[in-house]
Amino acid sequence: MRLARALLDGAPRAGVVEEDRFVPLASGVSVDDVVRGAAVSTDGAGVPLADVRLLAPLTRFNRDVLCTGWNYWDHFAESSGKREGQDPADRPRHPTFFTKGPDTVIGPADDVAFDARLSQKWDYEAEVVLVIGRDGRSIPEERAWEHVFGFCVANDVSQRDLQREHGGQWLKGKSIDGTMPLGPWITTADDVPDPHDLRIVCELNGETMQNASTAQVAFRFERLIAELSRGMTLRAGDIVLTGTPSGIGNAREPQVFLDDGDVIVTKVEGLGELRNNVVAVELT
């Protein structure tokens, strides 16, 4: 099942995506409600998917967005010597976690906010997202999937200079408002046969910049859930970004950074596609 949120008759509405149609849920039920256990009941025959504008599927966050860094070894390697003094000596033995503010979240077709006065190094990061559907603390790896409701796609647009400027932590350089596309819908876990066999691609202005498989992750998704939840309760409705593969702009020679007018396409096999324009706004 694919759960989405869209503008229908001028108002946001949750619904199910069935092939090429958007079928609304019963009035008053949101995708957030379904993730937290509400029943799915549709209302009517729906409308063609092409006739609605998809929005970010989730809007009610328990906390900051949970994220994983350095979870593809090729990405870890490509940035070696380019982290401006923040390089670890060796490969991490455990997943690297950080958070970003929920006000970063935008829809699958919304504009990515861009302000060159705030940062000179805007970068893209295509990622698979885990959507938690059941509370749990200290979850063992073998039971991790019992706590996953489904999956979606994100682009963790980052400001590399801000990421380096604030004591080596990543919160500031990952938390600029209106910069993280999420969607296009949530695909429930039962419709994803093998989460570690998904093709993840990022295109910038028609050129493929990232192209990898989730089979290449350094730490499998079950491991991420187990280590993140150790002594820390994960809640239904939390989302966990699982890391980006190689090909980021900061690691390229010459470097490639986002600019006003760019078009970013982020897609994951079986989970859908985000298509976002980078648009200059005043953020400062």
| Model pTM score | 0.96
| C-beta separation of 257 from 195 below 8 A | no
Q: Is 28 exposed, middle or buried (0-12, 13-18, 19+ CB in 10 A)?
A: exposed
Which pair of tokens denotes residue 76?
């870890």
pLDDT digit of tens for each residue in the chain (284 aa)? 999 999 998 999 999 999 999 999 999 999 999 999 999 999 888 999 999 999 999 999 999 999 999 999 998 888 666 555 566 667 889 999 999 999 999 999 999 999 999 999 999 999 999 999 999 999 999 999 999 999 999 999 999 999 888 877 889 999 999 999 999 999 999 999 999 999 999 999 999 999 999 999 999 999 999 999 999 999 999 999 999 999 999 999 999 999 999 999 999 999 999 999 999 999 99
Looking up tokens 């690691």 gives 251
Q: How many Å apart are CA 213 and CA 188, to the nearest integer? A: 20
pLDDT of residue 82: 57
Q: What is the chain's length?
A: 284
The domain 2-55 having CATH identifier 1.10.443: the answer here is: no
How many C-alpha atoms does 257 have within 13 Å on its Cβ side?
14
pLDDT of residue 88: 67
Element (H, E) at 77: helix 73-78
Report the DSSP pairing between strands 96-100 and 122-123. Answer: unpaired
Which pair of tokens denotes residue 119?
């940062």
26 contact partners, CB below 8 Å, separation of at least 6: 41, 42, 43
Q: Where are the domains of the chain?
A: 2-55, 65-280
- The CATH architecture assigned to 65-280 reads Alpha-Beta Complex (3.90)
Percent of the chain that is helix, strand, coil (3-state, to 5): 20, 35, 45
**Per-position b or e across 178-203, b if 16+ CB within 10 A of its CB:** bbbbbbbbbbbbeebeebeebebbbb
